[in-house]
Amino acid sequence: MQNDQELRQTIEKAKKHDLEALSRIYEEFFDKIYRYILIRVRNKEAAEDLAGQTFLRMLERISDFDWKGAGFRSWLFRIAHNLVIDLFRKRQTISFDETVSKTGRSAENLAIVNETLSEVLESLTLLNENQRQVVLLRLVGGLSCRETAETLALSETNVRALQHRALARVRKKLKVKTDV
């Protein structure tokens, strides 16, 4: 979607179960939702399943969506966020190594990808839950500061502060690794 007006028009059509509008929403947001979930759950199949569930819930509840509250992107990411939390509540164990090994890459490429992802994921573990959520929604999900604040029920100032502290912490961790 190129602008908010176009998104609003598409949402209004989707509320009437217009298949073309629903398809446009899916195409616009699926990759962002999927990446956000994949980083959280670290399992390709679980991420695909939760992304699908996100859009199923969106379809079930889009007629209730109201522009007075959070923006649509925030609303959609909130659905994904809640599904991830539900998954963690079920205490399912998820193996990231298993996911990476199923990508079909060569052993050398797999080792490089695994090492890089391990470093990034390790640096994310240094962050508290709010910092991690802000970083994932802003950088992976592509949400604005306002949308992130709406999704997490925080103020924009708090989101900016959390992001600043989180990125400073990650930079410091990665700098220490490269200096060694």
The Cα–Cα gap between 166 and 129 comes to 10
Cβ atoms of 140 and 32 closer than 8 Å: yes
Task: Check residues 177 and 15 and name the one with the higher pLDDT.
Answer: 15
CA-based end-to-end distance of the chain: 45
3-state secondary structure at position 18: coil
Please tell me the least confidently modeled range out of 5-9, 34-38, 92-96, 138-142: 92-96
> pTM score, two decimals?
0.65
